[in-house]
Structure 1
Amino acid sequence: MTGSAAERQAAGTPLLEVLDVRKSYGDRLVLDDVSLSVQPHDVICLIGSSGSGKSTLLRCLDLLEEIDDGVIRLDGREISDPLVDQREVRGRIGMVFQAYNLFPHLSVLDNCTLAPRRVHGLSRPEAEERARDLLATFGLVDHVDKHPDRLSGGQQQRVALVRALCTRPDLLLLDEITAALDPELVGEVLTIVRDLAERGTTMILATHEMSFAREVATSVCFLSEGRILEQGPPAEIFSEPREERTRQFLRRVLPPSG
């Protein structure tokens, strides 16, 4: 595909295309012909029971797992080819995990500047200026010299978000980022994600926070047994789901109405 990224997006080319992706671990089929299209500024929420394939899908998109079949395209270019430069692709995709995955031997500032320097070639002063600006935005400016074990879980998760954003990714993947947090810390992390959505950040997030998904998502995908069983606007999925499996899941996770 020719033309700049801006030209392709103006022509309606999705930022991300997932076509008939399959992934197995041994005899266990984890992703079963998954297809998904993501436009710039979309916020796609993946919902479903544990084991439905949400995390595996995100890991495949970030090339942490090799797919068995299908195609993944980023900005019109196939990235699922085993010969693709994975480092270059990951330079355009940021991922935040539920377990933070910060480097324990590095300070907050060094955690956030490592990828911009090593992958994007920024000088240390440039990378540090970018990181400090983001850390200040997220209320972490007083913690730049601390190591992760000196931070609360909520602070560590905010640092993980800043680290992903320091590369200025085209796409941000969030994998159950509140799952490991104490309940009182969930809100502060979701506030940051909400702000990112309002700024137009393109995101795909796996979440168990249904009210949050209803509020921020442009589209909700319900996964069951490795398939996207149903996809649509939040109002449609949460109020008038078509599939009985979706209705069963939502009855379990949503508070009773009335």
Structure 2
Amino acid sequence: MNERPLIEVRNLRKTYGSRVVLDDISLAVSRGDVVCLIGSSGSGKSTLLRCLDLLEPIDDGVIEFEGREVSDPGVDPRDVRREIGMVFQAYNLFPHRTVLANCTLAPRKVHGLSRRAARSRAVELLGRFGLGEHVDVHPDQLSGGQQQRAALVRALCTEPKLLLLDEITAALDPELVGDVLGIVRDLAAAGTTMVLATHEMAFAREVASRVCFLDGGRVLESGPPEQVLGDPVEPRTREFLRRVLPA
């Protein structure tokens, strides 16, 4: 018997006014999957991630998390987000809190961990990701790469069942991209379930269990990275890859 997907989307539709942003999206993510969303800016990748985290209401379709329909208006999104971690392109760290305080806030306030337990978990993760000497500084004292690593640690401190990553290298200087992607690579190797929007095609080829190409708010092509990135079926996918892959 096949295991039920951790999160599943069926026929999702999202509009802003008269503009259709996501159109008939269906996607199933099993435990341990790493699903990379690729496509041009404006194709719907970020909006899809925000819908998965219930940050955006949907107009039609169903989102199920662990077999429970969570897109129902009667569901409290905060209960669902307890199990999901999301990291944004712009870090979104609290500027008035130290790195450690950023990382311990949700475990304490949302998950009920003691101050000691939350601190112990955060310090261990910050040390693992090269931020052990920066626990007591504020985000504006860190480089962009360090801030993004801190944002990843903050998400991981809640031990999420699903991690959503929205173009987390887009705002970084090129020399910092590999640093952050190395952490994501380690998380994938450890079996972390992730859905990530990315422009890093080589990285997607390496770590993804599945690549989804979005175009005009639709999943135009989906499959293993070697197929979608190496031998795409759809002409639009081939056109996109010709523009973004080195000659």
Structure 1 counterpart of 2:149: 158
Deviation at 1:83, TM superposition (A): 1.6
**Which of 221, 233, 254 lines up with 2:212 in the alignment?**
221
| Match of residue 168 from structure 1 | 159
Residue 53 of structure 2 corresponds to 62
2:173 to 171, 182, 199: 182
> In the alignment, is the contact (CA less than 8 A) between 1:218 and 1:233 conserved in 2?
yes
The correspondence for 2:88, drawn from 60, 83, 97, is 97
Deviation track 1:107-147 (CA, whole Å, cap 9, x = no partner) reads: 00000000001110011101000101100110101000000
Aligned ranges for residues 85-234 of structure 1 at < 5 Å?
A: 85-234=76-225
Q: Provide Cα deviations, 1:81-107, integer angstroms capped at 9, x if missing partner.
A: 122121111110000000000000000
Runs of 5+ unmatched residues, structure 1: 1-9
Structure 2 stretches of 5 or more lacking a match?
none
Separation in 1, partners of 2:166, 2:19? 21
1:182-230 per-residue CA deviation (whole Å, 9 max, x = no partner) reads 0011010000000000000000000000000000000000000000000
Q: Distance in 1 between matches of 2:74 and 2:124?
A: 36
1:40 paired residue number: 31
Point out 4+ residue stretches in structure 1 off by more than 3 angstroms.
none
> Which amino acid is 1:26 matched to?
G
Q: Look up the SS of the partner of 1:255 in the other structure.
A: coil
> Deviation string for 1:3-44 (max 9, x for gaps)?
xxxxxxx85100010000000001110000000000100000
The answer to whether the 8 A contact 1:87-1:119 is kept is no
> Does the CA contact (< 8 Å) of 1:44 and 1:221 recur in 2?
yes
Distance of 1:188 and 1:239 partners within structure 2: 25
1:239 is paired with a residue whose SS is: coil
Residue 100 of structure 1 aligns to a residue whose secondary structure is: coil
Distance 2:120 2:76 in 1: 28
SS at match of 1:220: strand
Residue 29 in 1 paired to residue 20 in 2? Answer: yes
Letter in 2 for 1:100: Y
Q: Shift of the alpha carbon at 1:239?
A: 1.3
